[in-house]
Amino acid sequence: MTVSTITTAPIPGQKPGTSGLRKKVTVFQQAHYLENFVQSIFDTVPELNGGVLVLGGDGRYYNRVAVQTILKMAAANGVVRVLVGQGGFLSTPAASCVIRKYHATGGIILSASHNPGGADGDFGIKYNIDNGGPAPEKITDAIYARTQALLEYRISDQANIPLEKKGSYTLESMLVEVIDPVADYAELMQKIFDFDAIRAWFAQGHRMHFDAMSAISGPYAKQIFEGMLGAAPGTVVNGEPLEDFGGHHPDPNPAHATDLIRIMALPDAPELGAASDGDADRNMIVGRNFLVSPSDSLAIMAANAALIPAYKAGISGVARSMPTSRAADLVAKALDVPCYETPTGWKFFGNLLDAGRATLCGEESYGSGSNHVREKDGVWAVLFWLNLLAITGKSVNGIVTEHWARFGRHYYSRHDYEALDVGIANALMAHLREQLAGLAGQCFGAYCVAMADDFAYDDPVDGSRTANQGVRVLFENGARVVYRLSGTGTEGATLRVYLELFEGNSAQHAVPVQEMLAELIVIAGDLAQIAMRTGRKEPDVIA
């Protein structure tokens, strides 16, 4: 058993995106690819030498191989203790929970989130800091810079750790603790929610349908919903994590969670439908034949937070990503708390949460969370809705329509154009930016532009500035169109177009979303010349 220093060379393109480094599995399987990136983490974060590391992932293809490699590199780079999930499993929110509970130096999370899995699918890796949240850009930029200068990495030749069995092991001089991936997270959930009320709700015969999409949320959902709260066996479907997610695209939205949508439209549908994604940090909430938009879900959580035990004293503020609808803004105003608008990426919420400026956070891409961890959290969000149903005795549909009656409805949709040629996508965004100075005052039918810009964020906690975060076009009637290129894909570029229109008249709240937004959709396409530049007449995904 020895530690070897392996000669390598910089590998181009190892720049982390919105949530870490994501590439095809076949890319990660290239010689030195994973090792170079991991060594760059250890070189960039010297505190890991002598520190404690949390490690685990969503169980997708290559997860087990990567875990063993990282353990051997951690031992070779001076880490004294690693907490790793049994089987290599650890959901993203659970990893954040474990980092925080055990005061770890940081964590390495292996996931490509909602991206497809399997041998031909995607893989990902990211570093989370000691608060449990994704590393800020100053660290990810430094990791990338190190990958471009790296000439060697260190690794142990010791045999693999038996990950299937909980217990303590030694790798070189490093302690490896294989832990129950669910226990610490489940303990935290019991401190937040009224489990007795939810248990009574299920005992009364109420039902839920949770689709884990053959991803990592399955073990958490089974233990908490069925085991601890008494939901009927079979409430959780597709509950076993599979390396290829059973062929599912583990993205909880209407385009991919089609079975859930079908079941919730049946005459005898359960009261609550829900789904989570590959690494369990996203959520989808569905009532009976009624889809709750993520933007509305965040606003409703904020409006009703005082009903939840952990938030009964009130919330300090709300934070949302810039493309997320402004529904939460109106709730924050009514509660007399601030609402922060940040760039896309959960790492931007960390400072606000740590400083006590925000309690609840959310993104339009089916993610929401609170100050209990520093990641978005799918199972937490479902528990929040279960707690609301149990305490109020209302239906999902009733809670949402009552919210619209009070605050108005923000009609909202996201149109994704996937796997675009990168050059074409960049040229489209450049074309939009060239128009910004002259857009104010222009009218497109009934829509007159009040303001247009390229969003920049000034962090109120540390003063850092993050620019070029998406083109915003705001209209005088309160409508918005936002354009940005996603940082979560692995092939080509994904153009995301976000459309929002506020309607205060309750009589109009039953109009279908795409019908209400029809004119704005045409304007958005024309402004960006989407069809002409991409050749796409329709988006690939409407969420």
Please, are residues 467 and 521 in contact by the beta-carbon 8 Å criterion? Answer: no
The per-residue pLDDT for 492 is 83
Provide Rg for the chain, Cα atoms: 23
The per-residue pLDDT for 1 is 66
DSSP 252: -
Domain boundaries, the chain: 3-181, 185-406, 409-542
d(CA 126, CA 190): 28
DSSP 243: T
The per-residue pLDDT for 490 is 59
d(CA 469, CA 487): 11
Neighbours of 46 (CB within 10 A): 11
CA distances (Å), 161 to each of 2, 92, 170, 531, in order?
Answer: 16, 22, 9, 53
d(CA 333, CA 12): 47
Please determine whether the domains at 185-406 and 409-542 fall in the same fold group of CATH: no
The architecture that CATH gives domain 409-542 is 2-Layer Sandwich (3.30)
Residues of the chain with pLDDT under 70: 1, 487-490
pLDDT digits (tens, 9 = 90+) for 184-229: 999 999 999 999 999 999 999 999 999 999 999 999 999 999 999 9
Please identify, in words, the CATH class of the domain defined by 185-406: alpha beta
Report yes or no on whether pTM surpasses 0.85.
yes
Q: Which helix (H) or strand (E) holds 386?
A: helix 378-392
DSSP 357: S
297 is catalytic: no
- CATH 3.40.120.10 for the 3-181 domain, yes or no: yes
The per-residue pLDDT for 191 is 98
The per-residue pLDDT for 62 is 98
SS3 state at 410: strand
Q: Which helix (H) or strand (E) holds 454?
A: strand 447-454
Please, are residues 372 and 305 in contact by the beta-carbon 8 Å criterion? Answer: no
The per-residue pLDDT for 18 is 76
The per-residue pLDDT for 489 is 55
Please, are residues 282 and 308 in contact by the beta-carbon 8 Å criterion? Answer: no
From the candidates 19, 40, 96, 113, which is the catalytic residue? 113
SS3 state at 533: helix
